[in-house]
Amino acid sequence: MKLLFFLLTTILVSPVVAQKLSAEKVPAEVKESFKKQFPDVTDVKWELEKKSVYEASFKMDGKTMSANFSDKGEWQETETDLKVAELPKAATDYIAQHYKGAKIKEAALIKKPGGVTRYEAEVNGKDLIFDEKGNFVGE
């Protein structure tokens, strides 16, 4: 019984870690979709994020970016690192009010299919999500 409890807690509590992949192990559909969306990018690092989600990390126009694709090559989102000062004022005001004295560790712009734009701010180890106007959406 103790062994079963140990195994279950180990599996449930263990963090999910992305697996680095060589380009040869990435499905052709994923690489083709990436190349269509980002034709000028040549230096790409691949990871298997979670089952069937491939993440490409790269630099474009001087910005650090990542893009996620399903194993069928369907684009899911693109994340672009931002300077904290580039977050919408409403987002930084929300953080100042609800996380007094906390620093924003990282910031990003997230683009999703259908023209959806989100901002992400890492505060106190949490990823806070805001809409395109800086309104709080969730964690």
14-35 pLDDT tens trace: 345 678 989 999 999 999 999 9
So what's the pLDDT on residue 12?
Answer: 40
So what's the pLDDT on residue 17?
Answer: 60
Write the CB contacts of 57 (distance below 8 Å, at least 6 apart in sequence). 44, 45, 46, 47, 64, 65, 66
So what's the pLDDT on residue 89?
Answer: 98
- Residues of the chain short of pLDDT 70, as ranges, are 1-17
Residue the block writes with tokens 């505060």? 123
Return the bridge partners of 53, or none.
Answer: 50, 70
Cut 0.85: pTM above it: no
Residue among 29, 22, 69 nearest 46 (CA): 22
Write the CB contacts of 29 (distance below 8 Å, at least 6 apart in sequence). 71, 72, 73
Domains observed in the chain? 17-76 (3.10.450), 83-139 (3.40.1420.30)
